[in-house]
Structure 1
């Protein structure tokens, strides 16, 4: 009887549109990430640990940071406020136009700033290299800067598709960059030479934008009207942007400080820290993309009609997700040595390296359930425009990360840095959960 009920519950769950969307996004995300990983294998095989690859990563650092911190932050606050505008006045044409103009202005502004301050950036953070080295960086950077504009528009268009429940298109579009870079690398390497990776990324960003624009026009999602910068929900969105950007910026600094402190230890500590993060980061990316992309618009819509139900749904998801992730984490912790040996131990990667990385990986896996659940809570708080609190917690997290990195690395070396990150994820997720329950009580009174 219990087995029959269990099967019936699964069948019922598989008919739920939200669960179907989550599964769809998860499958597509695995496909996209898989092709991206294959692309990295081809790039590594083509260039090794060469000067060209180093300079490409440096050139991509600034545009990538702008995309992740500023453009993605704007998309995340755009979604709940667009849904609120659609629900209330339904002047979505004006809201879309306002958002597109803001994205255009922000993108162009950062392109100009990046171009003008390239020399200052390189001299400040990457001193002591040859003129040829800097020339390689600049050559590739000038091809990558226009990507900021196309990434900005693609981010906004993917947000629109998420709002209208077209998750498959909003999830698969990054695959164009991997395809474009592979094509350039495999067929045009001789012609493009040192520009091959940068040109591939630029072409990929253009194709992403064209694909999403075509889909949104075809589905009649784009509705352009005279912009309104003073509308209620537009103003609410503008007020949320600084807090969201600050939160993203400060959160990004945590990994930077970890890398900095790892550099103070023995040679190989940075590489060990990065290898130890690969598997936990893969699980985090897939689950957060699958759940986060679907749940942000879902919570935004539900919060407008029934906030109490939105809170209950969040807690329901968190309980089951947390228990499932504990099981996954325990299994991965026990299999950590085998996993590292399977994926990494070859050539210069020795058995001693496997032991080091496996132990670091265990530290990160301890924090895995908290990391993923914390990200889901962040999506929920974003959906109800509570971004200021997250900025304060991000600032506190950076300070705590510096303090505990210094303390723990003295006793445990690079393992202490990984352990600090795990503790920090526990702290952040528990504080976010406490704040969320407090918000529920405030709304109930």
Structure 2
């Protein structure tokens, strides 16, 4: 299967999840708006969700995949099973102890880490603590799911791991639908959502387990033992968790600061949900597929193939994220108004969320580039270098967020996160080139410049088109009319961007054919 087709497999499943996520956030905006219960739920959910993204999109994919793949090559499927059982025994035990400790310490965690701006003793603080207690076991489910996902990715089975997050959105949409149907108050709706998160975690874990069984891997739970393989995994996983979760770490820092202003956490969440669509579809797809492909190429000594994989991935990332960033900057107001402005979501809230979203959009290419650059380190079992770079970026994010929030509120936090993202991507790229781990292509650099030109032309066109359709996009227009206008703008942007990109040489037919026809070597047979 070609590299682009693998990206499309993961990206397509992720797209389905993100579209459902939009439906979820639309219902959330109507039911809770940016009121205190919205702040309470999002603050409580951010903590276990942070760990979900650290494990599922960071540590396990970075540390487990190369070791699991190496075990298959060295000792066959029996060795891989043994390694999986060793990891599962330790992981399950550690997660159980962490979950118990966190549940007991939840009031302290909320007051010092999750939402230090919430006043202790208020209803919002108490509700946040209770909701977090219900949702925190989601961490245990998702960490085990991440291990199963790593196994499937190593065996070149990408779809099940990509489709599993859909169940979170289905569960939360069901909870919100039930709340709206019964006329539940915001507090009751928040409780429905919290139990929905826990149910979703169990469903996702079950789906991945069935996927692993279908792939031919059967394994059980062993007594926890810190074998050399497990120690190596943990040695790689801790820095990888920090690196892979740079965006989420910066978000939790932003949430801590935003908790001092009513409604700010919800504003950041609504903006985050929109830019997570291209970030998830492109970034997660590239990160999930590139790591096992790059690990396989390097294990086989195919340095030229590894270099080609890295360049094609960066090419793919920028080809899709530059226009997305331009569109988010130009029509953020229109996007937010059509998606959210109804019920408890007011016109003033639209303006605030849109301004925040526009700034996040500028950071989007960097956030996705990080996903395509870190596998260059992880595939070589180097997780410390990206962690050091991430540490510097987090420090910059903290300094900027604290400095800018009093001046620009939520926009200041978004600016800090976008700046931190670009700093991380730049340092990762420079380090790979300096070490000789990235084969620089002048042709790629010229294509990127042309893609930037195509993006600017698209953005200018989109600006005039949105003004022409302004009467269709006002809140008083029927929702169907607003959706039609928004789809027309997005369609026009795609036509202009792709036409200009191909016309001036930012993309060409040979580039598409090269990516589509590239064949990967087959995965090792399970009976090896």
TM-score (norm 2): 0.69
Q: State whether residues 66 and 110 of structure 1, in contact with CA within 8 Å, keep that contact through their aligned partners in structure 2.
A: no
Aligned to 1:10: none
Aligned to 2:85: 97
Q: CA deviation at 1:20?
A: 1.8
Helix, strand or coil at the partner of 1:149? helix
Question: Aligned-pair RMSD on alpha carbons?
Answer: 3.7
Instruction: Tell me the number of residue pairs that the alignment of Structure 1 and Structure 2 aligns.
Output: 426
Which of the residues 142, 146, 170 maps onto 2:161?
170
Give 1 or 2: higher helix fraction. Answer: 1
Deviations 1:125-184 (A, max 9, x none): 344324x66665555444434333322222211221111122111111122233334445
Distance 1:69 1:259 in 2: 17
Are 1:236 and 2:235 an aligned pair? Answer: no
**Which ranges in structure 1 are unaligned for 5 or more consecutive residues?**
1-15
Are 1:403 and 2:399 an aligned pair? Answer: yes
Q: Aligned pair in 2 of structure 1 residues 352, 441: CA closer, same or farther (>3 Å)?
A: closer
Aligned to 2:435: 439
Are 1:25 and 2:10 an aligned pair? Answer: yes
Q: CA deviation at 1:263?
A: 6.4
Aligned to 2:329: 333
Q: CA deviation at 1:419?
A: 3.5
Distance 2:176 2:341 in 1: 27
Q: State whether residues 275 and 364 of structure 2, in contact with CA within 8 Å, keep that contact through their aligned partners in structure 1.
A: yes
Higher RCO, Cα 8 Å, sep 6+: 2
Are 1:180 and 2:171 an aligned pair? Answer: yes
Q: For structure 1, which segment, 280-289 or 219-228, has the greater mean C-alpha deviation from structure 2 after superposition?
A: 219-228
Deviations 1:63-122 (A, max 9, x none): 333333356544221111111111223311211111111220221011111122123224
Are 1:201 and 2:197 an aligned pair? Answer: yes
Aligned to 1:6: none
Alignment of 1:344-383 (within 5 A): 344-345=340-341, 357-383=353-379
Distance 1:376 1:121 in 2: 33
Distance 1:176 1:32 in 2: 8
Are 1:87 and 2:82 an aligned pair? Answer: no
Q: Aligned pair in 2 of structure 1 residues 25, 122: CA closer, same or farther (>3 Å)?
A: closer
Q: For structure 1, which segment, 422-431 or 323-332, has the greater mean C-alpha deviation from structure 2 after superposition?
A: 323-332
Aligned to 1:293: 288
Aligned to 2:492: none
Q: CA deviation at 1:311?
A: 2.4
Which of the residues 79, 97, 121 maps onto 1:129?
121
Q: Aligned pair in 2 of structure 1 residues 120, 407: CA closer, same or farther (>3 Å)?
A: closer
Q: Aligned pair in 2 of structure 1 residues 366, 115: CA closer, same or farther (>3 Å)?
A: closer
Helix, strand or coil at the partner of 2:75? coil
TM-score (norm 1): 0.81
Distance 1:185 1:416 in 2: 31
